[in-house]
Copies of this chain bind each other. A is one copy, B any other.
């Protein structure tokens, strides 16, 4: 029953567009009554995206489960993984929907609004974690967007493979790019009570550079002539 409704809905969305298809059209093609439709789906968009409310709830629950000691960027990345896992649980449905969404503008618009809600949820968590930083809100917004973009990159790669590629490997690679960019960065490890004179020296050098050159670089950076 559920599958028949989904198949009918997908066929009509592709043929007429999302807005132009009514629930009556769907139940009529599927040969079932309106009440059957509402037994499975609260609204028309839930035929295509039945799991996002659950996905958002799971993400929120996971984010809230943090102790406040965890690395915030890692925690946000792990929250985004839950969404990809949700897609991966139903590979053929996800792939079919992906092809449909690319062809039906109304569905694409709906999907963008869902993505926005995930991003908003991640940003709210990160804002809380970055509350004591002057650039906290900006940092939270940018990192949330980066996590979502990395997630979507992994998801699209997997969907384009027809659900055949290794989604865990895709998401690992994508999230590693984000966490290596922002986790355990110098600015995140400045100890409590550090002041301006306690800032951090970063030396970047080729491994081939002789040690004396590296030391010279440090001396220039710290602006004094301390010697070993």
Q: Is A210 interfacial (CB-CB < 8 Å)?
A: yes
Q: Which of A181-222 contact B (CB under 8 A)?
A: 181-182, 186, 189, 191, 194, 197-212, 214-215, 218-219, 222
Whether, in the assembled complex, A80 has its beta carbon less than 8 Å from a beta carbon of chain B, the answer is no
Cβ of A138 within 8 Å of any chain B Cβ, yes or no, is yes
Interface core residue of A110, A112, A211, A215 (most chain B CB under 10 Å): A211
Number of copies: 2
Complex Cα spacing A113 to B113, Å: 9
Q: Which residue of B lies closest to A181 (CB)?
A: B181
Which residues on B sit within 8 Å (CB–CB) of A205? Answer: 200-201
Contact of A149 among B108, B141, B194, B212 (CB under 8 A): B141
Whether the Cβ atoms of B211 and A203 lie closer than 8 Å is no
A226 partner, pick from B116, B182, B211, beta carbons under 8 A: B211
Q: Does A137 contact B (CB under 8 A)?
A: yes
Nearest to A205 among chain B residues (CB) is B201
- Give Cα distance in the complex from A163 to B202, angstroms: 39
Q: Please tell me if A21 contacts chain B, counting CB pairs below 8 Å.
A: no
Given A112-B112, A141-B153, A145-B145: A206 touches B201 (CB 8 Å cut-off): yes
Residue pair B173, A138 in contact (C-beta under 8 Å): yes
A93 within 8 Å of B (CB atoms) = no
Segment 37-68 of A: residues with Cβ below 8 Å from B: none
Judging by beta carbons under 8 Å apart, are B214 and A203 in contact? yes
- Known contacts: A204-B200, A228-B211. The answer to whether A142 contacts B138 by CB under 8 A is no
Bits for A115-145, please: 1 = Cβ < 8 Å to B, else 0. 0100000000000000000010111011011
Most buried by B among A142, A205, A211, A228: A142
Which of B139, B202, B215 meets A228, CB within 8 Å? B215
The answer to whether B177 and A201 touch across the interface, beta carbons within 8 angstroms, is no
13 contacts between A and B (CB under 8 A): A135-B173, A138-B153, A141-B150, A141-B152, A144-B149, A146-B146, A181-B182, A194-B206, A199-B207, A201-B203, A211-B228, A215-B215, A228-B228
